[in-house]
Amino acid sequence: MIYILILISIIYLALIMAFIIGFEKVETVKNNDAVPKNRFSIIIPFRNEAHNLPGLLKSISIINYPSELFEILLVNDDSKDNFNPIIEEFTNRNPSLNFQLLKNIRKTNSPKKDAIKTAINLSNFEWIVTTDADSAVPVNWLKLFNQFIEDENPVFISAPVKFSLQNSLLSHFQNLNFTSLMGSTLGGFGIDNPFMCNGANLCYHKETFFELKGFEGNTNIASGDDIFLMEKMFRIYPNKVKFLKSKESIVETRSENSWKLFMNQQIRWASKSVSYTIFFAKFVGIIVFLESLMVLILGIFTLLFPQFWLTFIIVFAIKIMVDFMLIAQTSVFLKSTKSLKYYLPISLFYPFFIVFTGFLSTFKNYEWKGRSFKK
């Protein structure tokens, strides 16, 4: 048994080291003020986001890109709050922006995919850009997408996301967790095995979306508008699915404000992993789960059989150090290093969190935006 546990640990460490190397292999893109050519349809589904919309809309209003080359499509997904005055004020202050407020046309079990598809069907431009209503986009966002499209000729672009940080244990825990995911995402692209992306910062070719029949095949799953679409495009166009590694393209989004909401988010994210079609994505999820489970098992063995204490300390210490290397390099890139000082105490708890979330995602339903979804 002990040899199996050590083997899992070796595979895990090799995987994280591959991500660390892959992270560096992805070339950093610097803004060269390329001539704006490409046209973008920015799609933002929202549900009960009146408290977040002002920040999002303010960031959109100062985007540094010709207004005739992009449009904004906000899709109301049955919101119950008073968002209309916010939209009216925004349109009155920004009459030159091409703006549409749409109502979601529900057809499937996935409200967000329906909202995006509703907007795509009514969009006018060649490139689809998605973000979330609780986000703020950078001023040169579209300029970097335009430059990257001209230089790399992609069909799908994943771009970086980070959390806005609050001074609380919950916020730092979420930030470190999310930073590790972003580092793994970038590392996956660097080793030519992309397996994650984030819908808060995506850009893809509309014609290719329709060619591959969009979200068809996974509309029974509430989330996954980002990863499942990336999988489709990577399967058909493996050399045209890219990551835009630029500090000027980082979208900042909000973390959850309670442990309950955070756990629901994690269960939702983990529950879709069983439907991944790329083997590497499933492999990563299994290894990460087994590594955390192994650490817990070794810890229990150490309590029962003290002769295992040295093995436990070595395995856990190496895991903590290698994880820190990935999180630290990602934090520096994202300019989000304040949570690093909390890394050690949080890392001691982290294996419990991974195992607990993994088991819950297998058996527990989850809530999202005030709706309940079954497994």
Residue 76's domain is classified under what CATH number? 3.90.550.10
With respect to residue 343, please indicate whether it lies within any of the assigned structural domains.
Answer: yes
Residues 16, 31, single domain; the answer is no
- Mark whether 319 and 221 lie in a shared domain: no
**pLDDT tens string 42-83:** 999 999 999 999 999 999 999 999 999 999 999 999 899 999
Residues 298 and 352 both lie in one domain:
yes
Distances (CA, A) of 262 to 174, 200, 204, 256, 338: 8, 17, 28, 5, 20
Asked whether residue 262 is domain-assigned, the answer is no
Q: How confident is the model at residue 158, as a pLDDT?
A: 98
For residue 282, what are the CA distances in angstroms to 18, 63, 356? Answer: 16, 37, 18
Q: What are phi and psi of 159, to 5 degrees?
A: -135, 165
**Dist CA 251 CA 38 (whole Å):** 20
Q: pLDDT, tens digit, for every residue of 323-341?
A: 999 999 999 999 999 999 9
Tell me: pLDDT of 375 over 60.
no
Distance CA 258, CA 168 (A): 11
Tell whether 367 is covered by a domain: no
pLDDT at residue 369 tops 90: no
State the CB neighbour count (10 A cutoff) for residue 198.
Answer: 23
Rounded Cα gap, residues 191 and 186, in angstroms: 9
Residue 146 in contact with residue 249, Cβ under 8 Å?
Answer: no
Position 147 scores a pLDDT of: 98
The answer to whether residue 33 is domain-embedded is: yes
Rounded mean pLDDT of the chain? 92
What pLDDT shows up at residue 205?
98
All residues at 6 or more sequence positions from 70 whose CB lies less than 8 Å from its CB, including other chains: 39, 40, 41, 42, 63, 98, 125, 129, 142
Roughly how many angstroms between the first and final C-alpha of the chain, as a whole number? 32
Share of the chain above pLDDT 90, in %: 73
- Based on the fold, state whether residues 98 and 121 are members of the same structural domain: yes
Same domain, 221 and 330: no
**Mean local confidence (pLDDT), 355-362:** 82
Residues 211 and 300 in one domain: no
**Environment class of 46 (CB within 10 Å of its CB; exposed 0-12, middle 13-18, buried 19+):** buried
pLDDT of res. 225 = 85
End residue of a domain, out of 255, 287, 312: 255
Residues 235 and 331 in one domain: no
What type of residue is 37? K
Mean pLDDT of the 258-274 span = 81
Assess if residue 373 is contained within a domain. no
Token couple for 228: 């499942």
Residue 374 resides in a domain: no
Same domain, yes or no, for 46 and 96?
yes
Please tell me whether residues 131 and 225 are part of one structural domain: yes
- Report how many domains make up the chain: 2
Q: Are residues 64 and 125 in the same domain?
A: yes
Flag whether 248 is in a domain: yes
Q: What is the pLDDT of residues 160-174, one digit of tens each?
A: 999 998 889 999 999
How many whole angstroms separate alpha carbon 80 and alpha carbon 174?
28
Any idea of the CA torsion for 263, 79, 198, 215, to the nearest 10 degrees? 110
- What's the CA gap between 142 and 66, in Å, rounded? 10
pLDDT for residue 368:
61
d(Cα 262, Cα 255) in Å, to the nearest integer? Answer: 8
Identify the domain containing residue 16 by its residue range. Answer: 2-21+279-362
Q: Is residue 190 domain-shared with residue 206, that is, in the same domain?
A: yes
Looking at the DSSP bridge assignments, the partners of residue 98 are 71
pLDDT value, residue 168? 92
131, amino acid identity:
T
Compute the distance between CA of residue 77 and CA of residue 59 in angstroms, rounded to an integer: 21
What would the two tokens of residue 16 be?
A: 């994280």
Instruction: Give domain status of residue 124, yes or no.
Output: yes
Count of CB atoms within 10 A of residue 75's CB?
25
Together in a domain, 169 and 292: no
